[in-house]
A and B are shown apart, each in its own frame.
Chain A
Amino acid sequence: MRGFAGKILRVDLTSRKITVDQPAESFYRTYLGGAGFVSYFLLKEVPRGIDALDPRNKLILALGPMTGLAMPGATRDCVGAKSPLTGGYSKSEAGGFFPMALKKAGYDAIIVEGKADRPVYLRVTDQEVEIRDAAHLWGKTVLETQDAIAAETGDKAIRTAAIGPPGERLVRFACIMNDLREAVGRGGLGAVMGSKNLKAIAASGRWNPDVADPARIRALTQIMNKGFNDNPIGFANKLHERGTGGSAMMLAGNEIGNLPSYNFGVNFFDGTAKVTADAVLDTYGTGMDGCAACAVRCKKVVEIGEPWNVSKRNGGPEYESLASLGPTCGVDDLAHITKANELANLYGLDTISLGVSIGFAMECFENGILTTRDTAGIELKFGSAEAMLQMVELIAHRQGIGDLLAEGTMRAAEKLGRGAEALAMHVKGLEIPMHEPRVKQGLGVIYAVEAQGADHCAGMHDTAYMQDSPAFEHLRGMGATRPLPANDLSDEKIASQKAAHLWNLFLDSVVCCQFVPWSIDQLVEIVRAVTGWSYTTHEALKLGERIATLGRVFNIREGITSAQDSLPKRMFGPTRAGALKNGGIDPEKFRHAVRTFYGIMGWDEETGVPTHGKLVDLGIGWAAEELSAAAPATPLDGGVMA
């Protein structure tokens, strides 16, 4: 088999047993890698109904056919498990250097199960696999962990994926950090690692995949390296200059209500100009950096001296972090935001869930649901940069009020009661990212129906597809209909969202960065050139459908019904000020759009349960068994969270 190692590493931390699977080539062709592997193994192997922090949960870390190649966007992994936040299907991707190191160790995926009786880390090389003691690393930051592992192994090529104290303390939105800057961010996968007493996975090696057509791979690499700046289907030129969060995008986003501010309650933020990527680079920037072999280099490098001591090594804030730790909390102090972002990277915290949880707590405080008695005297008001930063520490260490917020907004609101539920901005337990579903309404439908909860990387950002353009033309080739207004929720819009959804899931299986503007034709060509298969676009999009449907079956099996394919009630009403002050999603249109999505996915339009015919069509007839064991499905009850 070309392009793959042909080996999946299995580690049972309870028995300390290490084995290697060698799946048939047909398995690789059906599931490809990344998200394909994650969706297959989660449904096949995670026992029904277990708690996400139970040792029987499995952490699946998967690479793809592109991983290990020196191509832009190719160094990326996809990690999945049952989510501690949602209790359902979860997967998340990140770049850096670690995924390439793991491929060079000669594996396509690692499946970790069980729980070690004391802290350990996994060292995976092309020579051996070891479970090593990590007692001395427990409590350490991601940076300290990475440096200690590099020092004690003496292995200069070693790369790590590690958790910090929040993962150890089972903060439900703890993430896994690839190297120091790249977060396998969403869904609390760091807490799953922590629940297994697994501090890190460290990899290195010299193995190289055998590629079917190396000349074609070299040619495509050159095309992207030379042409990404002028490529019209993405925005890589802007990412190359200053990464995500450029001032045009944030200032204009503020004008149209797309910048979540004050916990999605206002969506107009006076201090926006102070918290853009341009402001970051002008004030604290020292340059740009990137993941392995990527010419786009979209990563801001920042440094701040005394008293902040933000190190160049730990990465600058992305748009999601700027907006969630900034406007969502009403904070416009860039030093505090940059420090909070650095702490999130050092500790391993998902900045989206972190900022939204703090914004939630601030609104609870302003409404008297939380008081200084709960916060140990902290005036947890919107706009307090100091309080925002204090919360990051308290959550990371589960101290005081941080212990409650470490549960995520859904659980924290349930515990608090007294109207807190209405202030919790999540879908299925996963906090809403920094793209307002009242503006990008088609993306809002994807937030609602996506198996893992509100995920901004799973659909089409409606605002970017309002006119005919090369970007729209690219989607049209996958089944998108025609450009439509951002707040349109017609059947045609939902058909376009489906096309984008399948494309994104294919990308997550390859596993390729969404920021590198490869077209689907180019990526399919890459799969062909790597594997030697006659892989087609049809197969690529079918894979996307297979993954979405497996994720849905997993959720149904875990008792998540169409009632949870919803958005918070706030999204169906106006904001207190800003462009959305007369806005809000029409609940009737939204409900219809969710049903339409079910229908075009081959899922029952009332219950969202995949039909037998669709399972057969996708070659996953075996998943019917999982459905038959599930609780009875409930019909869609309106799409608006209570």
Chain B
Amino acid sequence: MRITIEVMIPLRNRLPQGGRITTLELHPGGTVADALRAVGVPEGEPWNASIAGQLVAATHPLKEGDFLLVFPPIAGGSG
């Protein structure tokens, strides 16, 4: 299954490859956590992620063609 992932700055600065948009091949039933692991989001790094504007959790199962946007958690006025 292919999905696309975009990691926003400043979280992107922490990735080993640092690419903005990456297309990933994931096993069927792969989750948001799997995708984050695949692009190298460090373990324990807080994040928010959304697909088509809807926030998704780490356990959310991805499907073919999903566009996953990953960004720092949106807190009070910053993030």
State the A residues within 8 Å of B (CB): 235, 238-239, 244-249, 251-253, 255-258, 318-320, 435, 439, 456-457, 461, 463-467, 469-471, 485-487, 514, 578-580
Contact = CB atoms under 8 A, between A and B. Distances in A.
A255 B73 contact: no
19 contacts: A238-B79, A246-B79, A247-B9, A248-B10, A249-B74, A252-B72, A435-B76, A456-B77, A461-B76, A463-B73, A464-B75, A464-B76, A466-B48, A467-B47, A469-B73, A471-B46, A487-B55, A514-B76, A578-B53
A463 B55 contact: yes
B74 A258 contact: yes
Interface of B: 8-11, 44, 46-48, 50, 52-55, 57-58, 69, 71-79
B79 A579 contact: no
Contacts of B58: 467
Contacts of B55: 256, 439, 463, 466, 485-487
Nearest to B52: A579
Contact of B48 (A245, A463, A579, A580): A463
Contact of B72 (A248, A256, A258, A318): A248
B78 A319 contact: yes
Contacts of A580: 53
A256 B79 contact: no
Nearest to A254: B53
Centre residue among A255, A469, A486, A487 by max chain B CB count within 10 A: A255
A464 B79 contact: yes
Lowest 9 CB-CB distances: which A-B pairs, in order? A579-B53, A244-B77, A252-B71, A249-B79, A464-B75, A464-B73, A463-B74, A319-B77, A469-B46
A493 to B, nearest CB: 14
A256 B53 contact: yes
Contact of B8 (A248, A256, A486): A248
A456 B76 contact: yes
Contacts of B9: 247-248
A461 B57 contact: no
A245 B75 CA distance: 10
A467 B75 CA distance: 13
Contacts of A253: 74, 79
A485 B78 contact: no
A235 B50 contact: no
B33 to A, nearest CB: 10
A469 B42 CA distance: 12
Contacts of B46: 464, 467, 469-471
A392 B72 CA distance: 33
B50 A256 contact: yes
A514 B75 CA distance: 12
Contacts of B54: 256, 579
Centre residue among B47, B48, B52 by max chain A CB count within 10 A: B48
Contacts of A439: 55
A457 B48 CA distance: 20
Nearest to B72: A248
Contacts of A466: 48, 55, 57, 73
Contacts of B77: 244-245, 249, 318-320, 456
B48 A238 contact: no
Contacts of B50: 252, 255-256, 579
Centre residue among A248, A257, A486, A514 by max chain B CB count within 10 A: A248
A252 B79 contact: yes
B41 to A, nearest CB: 11
A471 B71 CA distance: 16
A406 to B, nearest CB: 26
A251 B11 CA distance: 14
A20 B50 CA distance: 56
Contacts of B57: 466-467, 485
A551 to B, nearest CB: 20
Given A235-B79, A252-B50, A464-B74, 18 more contacts: A235-B78, A238-B72, A238-B78, A244-B78, A245-B77, A249-B71, A249-B79, A251-B8, A252-B72, A253-B79, A256-B50, A256-B54, A256-B55, A257-B53, A464-B46, A469-B44, A469-B73, A471-B73
Given A249-B74, A258-B74, A238 B69 contact: no
Contacts of B47: 467
B48 A239 contact: no
A99 to B, nearest CB: 21
